[in-house]
Structure 1
């Protein structure tokens, strides 16, 4: 078997842990969010997540519960355009490598057909105990059935450079027409969260909340790369690794209500979390022993959930017309990531939200809203296995009041992302130039039933 440069292997391995990660803390846990987006000053049952202090102003004492199901579908695509080695040419009487352009569109699909959540609160007098169970991060599986440009470009360079060394022994040069590369990558990530806390109504216009959230992470990645010339496997790589971890998030909040105006604020502290490998398969050439150390069974990797601040103001213009504006800040730069990737961010994440709802009749409420998300991205932060794009989101839907005790929420939102272009003169360590254009799409539909006992 031929011996090849490990440049390709190194570039392949070091980036895999961030797959299915990224700057996403799921705020869309309830269809009321999908249909309006700005829910940080709500006093309905979905406030158990978005404004827990506001539960002090639930209109009735008793037990309130909401069951929700959502379906989310995403694409994560990479339009790659890079140079690859393509044989030799005589330069000043000596053979020198030549290059040729390589273009390919890599499509990644992520689907989460069923995302469940449950919200509950029990209010008696000035006290309210509340909680929820939801998937607050990740929530699906992403698949690149044709691999990633990271895989192919690094393997192409590795094969060609290794072949150059064997040319002197009379063996044929390994050009792209003499080998075939097959690769694929799947990644998954779920953060299951259960929160419990207490809200106290201090006086007629002020309330406060304190609680905690337990987070359980489960995820992993599975991928392979086969580069073959005839029946010879040139560069065998295979990885199958599961990961788990957990962390606790303290949460505090306040709510202030004056007549038609309501102000809600919430702060979620940073969650320190490490994820541990359970490696089921790890195949690699002997020369790569040092490079795969981080993927062996039992190794821990930081995967903190960043602290988050939410502030919102809602106003009732008419008895049937309400609107809300909101701001979120995620302190991503101070949340540990694999390989200290957070250091490459230029700032934390800023989100700006607004929503409006109108009671068409006493049984039907229509609503819509929007959100702008601004990350602190940089070229060094972005990679084929983990990339984000600034975006704006629109949502709409309805609330149907079935009885005095029961209501249904239905909502739909979609996100439009701004393409991110990353150009490099050393594309994936190949020594050649190349450009990736990263793009994403996102669509979510949800339905819930709220009931007061």
Structure 2
């Protein structure tokens, strides 16, 4: 039972998105996104990510750069309620309720990104460096219910077997007789460098083609120790530990188009699926030939970045007032995940964005925006180590024109998530019922400096 009790540990492929975007993709890399959210039709320097074809319409030739720093803070909590074995009535196991609130925190205090473009006539070469996936560390200091419930069931079943073998000389071990200490940390970063070329075909149409190199760096460290209380002898019942780093890389082709019609500007971008496998560099694994075999040194796991379509329209209502709407689609079901988890999604991710900005004076622009994210979630897709929740996001901020060549963007974005309730008759394989309520929070602050040489 020792090996079975933490079979859920093999699901330790944790997705840690700290920004807005799909299941595995960060869409905001610039404070202009935080303050407005809909940037898919912009012709400013942050368009190197959100609308690269639009950079062909930059008003001035020469070098354009943008430097951005953001801070993101999340909570990921699980309100667990499940039945566990609490004793033996003759030959029949007895059960009781177990309730615990598990708190997880993810923090990324410094997230940098750099944007650059050089325009000469009808041609513009552009690129950026950013953390386009993950971007932080998630910590569950009290472990997770999937680990604790399995350990409790395994300890009880093992004690029942020993009780029968010794004809009652070995005691039935119940939850009141031992303590479980468990913790799990996961970190994930996808560092990306993109380079591409935009061409202005005529006064109203431009196109873009380019590629993005992605480097994955992640790590997982966790343990579970179960020990009898001193009054029951203090014996170790279970000890498992994992310390594993993971790396991998993949290439993303990107194409785009931008069209201008009077006061309208339309931008579209398509990012192809990125085939990405991550390889284990394992320092410690107490069950590499058992429950933690997926984390054996040298094992490869799929972690594809899904294809993404962005379509946006911006309209100049007044010379000082502009609005934008946008749509994103992530084809998550066709992106390979660990254990083929993508097959459990009911659909890809849909996002709907809008934003508005107002030039209060020549030097100051105020803005706000919103985003609705709709995942194709299912109970079989959700797990304690990797869960998502449908959400809506609001952002506010300002752009300050420091000079004819320099501008400062500041923004704040927060996300409200819809709790996801997962009920199971066979909770984590224990054979007993249980329910998890998954909840999340997210807050991001950022500042960006743009400069034209």
Q: TM-score, normalised by structure 1?
A: 0.96
1:387-402 aligned at under 5 Å gives the runs 387-402=387-402
Q: How far off its partner does 1:19 sit? A: 5.3
Q: Corresponding residue for 1:7?
A: 4
Shift in Å, 1:259: 1.7
Aligned to 1:235, the other structure's residue is in SS state strand
Q: Give 2:259's aligned residue.
A: 256
- The 3-state SS of whatever aligns with 1:360 is strand
Q: Find the residue that maps to 2:158 and give its secondary structure.
A: helix
Taking the aligned partners of 1:5 and 1:320, their CA distance within structure 2 comes to: 67
Q: Indicate how the Cα distance of structure 1 residues 422 and 60 shifts in structure 2: closer, same or farther if over 3 A, else same.
A: same
What's the offset of the Cα at 1:147?
0.1
Match of 1:174 in 2: 173
> Matched residues in 2 for 1:20 and 1:47: separation?
24
Residue deviations 1:17-59, cap 9 Å, x none? 2454781310110000000000000000000000000001111
Residue 5 (structure 1) shift: 5.1
The reply on whether 1:205 has 2:204 as its aligned counterpart is: yes
**Partner residue in 1 for 2:102:** 106
Residues 220 and 245, structure 2, Cα contact 8 Å, conserved in 1: yes
Instruction: State the secondary structure of the residue aligned to 1:146.
Output: coil
Runs of 5+ consecutive residues of structure 2 not aligned to the other structure:
none
Question: CA-to-partner distance for each residue in 1:138-165, whole Å, 9 max, x for gaps?
Answer: 0000000000001110000000001001
Structure 2 counterparts to residues 290-305 of structure 1, below 5 A: 290-305=290-305
Cα distance change on mapping 1:35 and 1:19 into 2, 3 Å: closer
Rounded to whole Å, the distance in 2 between the matches of 1:397 and 1:140 is 23
- In the alignment, which of 140, 144, 148 is matched to residue 144 of structure 2? 148
Matched residue SS, 1:42? coil
Contact 2:249 2:277 (C-alpha < 8 Å) held by counterparts: yes
Unpaired segments ≥5 residues, structure 1: none
Give the CA RMSD over aligned residues. 1.1
Query: Could you tell me which residue of structure 2 aligns to residue 194 of structure 1?
Result: 193
* Residue equivalent to 1:327: 327
> Secondary structure at the residue paired with 1:17?
coil
Deviations 1:236-266 (A, max 9, x none): 1000000000000000000001121000000
Q: Distance in 2 between matches of 1:410 and 1:239?
A: 40
How far, CA to CA, are the matches of 2:15 and 2:131 in structure 1?
A: 18
| Structure 1 equivalent of residue 28 of structure 2 | 28
Deviations 1:370-401 (A, max 9, x none): 00000000000000010000000000100000
Aligned equivalents of 2:202 and 2:241: distance in 1? Answer: 61
Alignment correspondent of 1:228: 227
Correspondences of 1:16-415 after superposition (within 5 Å): 16-18=12-14, 20=16, 23-89=23-89, 94-168=90-164, 169=166, 170-229=169-228, 230-284=233-287, 289-415=289-415
Residue-by-residue CA offset, 1:258-279 (whole Å, 9 max, x unaligned): 1210000000000000000000
Give SS of 1:431's match: coil
CA distance in 2, matches of 1:44, 1:323: 15
Question: For residues 272 and 15 of structure 2, what CA distance do their matches in structure 1 show?
Answer: 24
Following superposition, the deviation at residue 417 of structure 1 comes to: 0.2
Aligned equivalents of 1:231, 1:450: Cα separation in 2: 62
Question: TM-score, normalized by length of structure 2?
Answer: 0.96
- 8 Å Cα contact 1:270/1:306 also seen in 2: yes
| Contact 1:5–1:161, Cα closer than 8 Å, also in 2 | no
Contact 1:150 1:428 in 2 (8 A): yes
Give the conservation status (yes or no) of the 8 Å contact 1:20–1:385: no
Aligned 8 A contact 2:425 2:431 in 1: yes
